[in-house]
Amino acid sequence: MDASRDRAALARAGNPRNNDAVRKYVAEFIGTFVLVLGGVGAAVLAGDHIGFQGVALAFGLSLLAMVYVIGPISGCHVNPAVTLGLLLSGKMEGKDAVGYVVAQCVGAILGAGVVLLIAKGMPGGYSAVTEGLATNGYGAASPDGFNMGAAFLTEVALTFLLVLTVLGATDARAPVGFAGLAIGLVLTLIHLVGIPVTNTSVNPARSLGPAVFAGSVPMGQLWLFIVAPLLGGATAAAVYRTVFRPAVPISAEEAERALRREREARIADERAGTRAPV
């Protein structure tokens, strides 16, 4: 009888590992939503006032904030190319990767939808098909008319830089607490370089979100902003595993357990009043 009650209690509580996975997916959904709302929103709603530099900063600040908000829950990938890079470098479990990517894509689509709804409140309205909704593109769809080859190379190279920064800044040997600054600043730099070429993707989910609402041209060019960032992320993972490989490899599961223990220890110190003042 007691065993039956225990099983029933466990069933009501749910599987803790499943609950952890759902929390991660929700965090990735929220993080990607905020990234698109902040970055694409800045381009669509304020681009005429803040220029390329302001849009670049908006993307960087959005990611920087989310690193500290959802990073402790999901690692703050908010980008399928980052998820692929972390997967190939052994920093995450394969069973989570598909859920991460789905959550990121849904969050990006919803974020772009909210930006579009706000933009429609402009005097005279707003057409995503005509105005573009800050979609990514090449050729006639490139802000400065860059061709497909230049766009592909730009997206591969800039995504390589982003993912390598994520991998290096979150390495066990990196200074603790500064990963968000490095990642947010490098995304700002990437946008300063890439906006004139492709409007800067380096993130298949970010490209998908606005493209869904903007008609056939962005959807027809979407393949480049999926393939090139994934190639850049995979290349960054290969370089990281070759150059930055730790002397004692640590599995993603072991790293996750270590981080959880560290957070628990910090919370215990704060409750006991033993943590040194900042």
Length of the chain: 278
Q: What is the predicted pLDDT for the residue at 119? A: 97
First to last CA, the chain: 52
Among 16-25, 101-110, 115-124, 187-196, the range scoring the smallest mean pLDDT is 16-25
- Residue spans of beta strands (DSSP E) within 34-95: none
| pLDDT reading at 251 higher than 50 | no
Averaged over 16-33, what is the pLDDT? 90
Q: What is the predicted pLDDT for the residue at 266? A: 60
Q: What is the predicted pLDDT for the residue at 259? A: 53
Q: What is the predicted pLDDT for the residue at 278? A: 41
* % helix, strand, coil for the chain, step of 5: 75, 0, 25
Q: Which residue has the tokens 């939808």?
A: 113
Q: Which residue has the tokens 């220029």?
A: 51
Q: How far is CA 45 from CA 117, 122, 187, 210, in A?
A: 11, 9, 20, 14
Q: How far is CA 188 from CA 9, 39, 65, 194, in A?
A: 48, 10, 13, 10
Q: Are 219 and 134 within 8 A, CB to CB? A: no
Q: What is the predicted pLDDT for the residue at 277? A: 45
Gap between the Cα atoms of 271 and 256, Å rounded: 23
Confidence band of 98 (pLDDT split at 50, 70, 90): very high
| pLDDT reading at 104 higher than 60 | yes
Q: Are 70 and 31 within 8 A, CB to CB? A: yes
Tens-place pLDDT, residues 115-152: 999 999 999 999 999 999 999 999 999 999 999 999 99
Tens-place pLDDT, residues 38-47: 999 999 999 9
| pLDDT reading at 26 higher than 60 | yes
Tens-place pLDDT, residues 200-211: 999 999 999 999
Contacting residues for 92 by C-beta, under 8 A, at least 6 apart: 75, 83, 86, 100, 252
| pLDDT reading at 269 higher than 70 | no
Q: Which residue has the tokens 């993130």?
A: 203
Tens-place pLDDT, residues 136-193: 999 999 999 999 999 999 999 999 999 999 999 888 787 777 888 999 999 999 999 9
Gap between the Cα atoms of 155 and 200, Å rounded: 7
Tokens of residue 69, six digits: 């908000």
Gap between the Cα atoms of 56 and 32, Å rounded: 16
Gap between the Cα atoms of 199 and 206, Å rounded: 11
Q: Which residue has the tokens 């990767």?
A: 97
Cβ atoms < 10 Å from Cβ of 270 = 10
- Residue 123's region, left for phi above 0, alpha for psi from -120 to 50, else beta, is beta
Tens-place pLDDT, residues 49-82: 999 999 999 999 999 999 999 999 999 999 999 9
Q: What is the predicted pLDDT for the residue at 270? A: 65
